[in-house]
A and B are shown apart, each in its own frame.
Chain A
Amino acid sequence: MKIVPLEAYLILSVLLFGLGVFGMIVRRNLVAILMSTELALNAVNIAFVGADSHLGLLDGQIFALFIIALAAVEAAVGLGIIVAIFRLRKVESSDELTDMGG
């Protein structure tokens, strides 16, 4: 049953979350930044489901479902904002958006 240990899931989750955060910082393209956010959300899902299979519970899977639904909302609103930014300002790069910069 528990052939894959919990540590394997957690190590994979940490690596994926680190890649997501790294992408959020490094990328300039706004759409690529949102995609890196999806990587981080998936990493959290892996941690939930891995802990579930280790503990024999099901609550983590339900939280993973909620995260998937909220990721859909985040993608819809975020991409709407990106389209609005492009239509109003004609930029698609995060370093050109300097209105709120100090």
Chain B
Amino acid sequence: MMQWIAFLFFASMTLLSALGVVFLSNIIYVILSLLSTLVMVAGIFFVAGAELVGALQLLIYAVAIAVFYVLVLTAVPWEKALKKDSHYRIEGVLTFPILLAFYLEIILVFLLGVSVSPKGQIREFIQNLGNTQVVGSILFSKYFFAFELVSLVLLVGMIGAVIVGRKEDKTYEDSTS
């Protein structure tokens, strides 16, 4: 029963935040609701008993990839930011309750997920490393080739991102004119 309540809560919050990602116009709100979606999907993973995937979702998705997006938004000045001449003082103050809501979200995800997860108590999880150990043993035996392939793809993607993002000698307008 408790699992149902947690699942419904996480699912409804995921869908609400996804609606925000699709329909909001201000790109900052879009990125905040994307962050909310990612955290809530991690909660669903905890409910399903996939502790390792949930933790990596929080670490990689909700931290690393979200920071990627924020970084690019700072590098690409969109039109609204150019038109607004204030330095976002009011927005900075208004961010505080949203930030508080995000902390509450993360705390809720942890508490609900840990208390509801089928493997159960976090003490037992630390003692015999239930899910993580099993996933690791399968990952490094049955799927070891795919694991190495993913690392190769990561390397190629890193090189590609560096090549695409580096400073060009001549721009597109130079070569066409």
Chain B 18-35: CB-based contact to A (< 8 A → 1; otherwise 0): 110110000100110010
Residues of B within 8 A of A26 (CB): 22
Considering residues A3, A59, A70, which has the most beta carbons from chain B within 10 angstroms of its beta carbon? A3
Is B73 positioned at the interface, with any CB of A under 8 Å from its CB?
yes
For A54, give the chain B residue with the smallest CB separation.
Answer: B48
Q: Tell me how many residues of B have a C-beta within 8 Å of chain A.
A: 64
Q: From residue A41, how far is it (CB to closest CB) to chain B in Å? A: 9
Chain B 52-65: CB-based contact to A (< 8 A → 1; otherwise 0) = 11001100110011
Once bound together, how far apart are the Cα atoms of A31 and B158, in whole Å? 19
Report Cα–Cα, A49/B57, bound state, in Å: 12
Contacts of A9 in B (CB 8 A): 44, 48
Cross-chain contact A32 with B27 (CB below 8 angstroms): yes
Q: Is the interface of A mostly helix, strand, loop or mixed?
A: helix
Q: Which of A19, A34, A61, A80 is B22 in contact with, Cβ under 8 Å?
A: A19
Interface pick from B3-11, B91-99, B100-108, B121-129: B3-11
Q: Which residues 24-64 of A sit at the B interface, judged by CB distance below 8 A?
A: 26-27, 29, 31-32, 34-36, 38-39, 42, 45-46, 49-50, 52-53, 58-59, 61-62, 64
B164 adjacent to A77 (CB under 8 Å): yes
Whether B76 pairs with A53 at a CB distance below 8 angstroms is no
Contacts of B57 in A (CB 8 A): 45, 68
Q: Is the CB of B160 within 8 A of A4?
A: no
Q: A35-B31, A39-B22 are in contact. List 13 more A-B contacts (CB 8 A).
A: A16-B14, A16-B15, A16-B18, A31-B72, A39-B18, A39-B21, A42-B41, A61-B52, A68-B56, A76-B158, A77-B161, A81-B164, A88-B172
Question: What are 7 A-B contacts with C-beta separation under 8 Å?
Answer: A26-B22, A36-B21, A42-B37, A49-B50, A71-B61, A73-B153, A80-B160
Binding site for B on A (CB under 8 A): 1, 3-4, 8-9, 12, 15-16, 19-20, 22-23, 26-27, 29, 31-32, 34-36, 38-39, 42, 45-46, 49-50, 52-53, 58-59, 61-62, 64-66, 68-77, 79-84, 86-89, 92
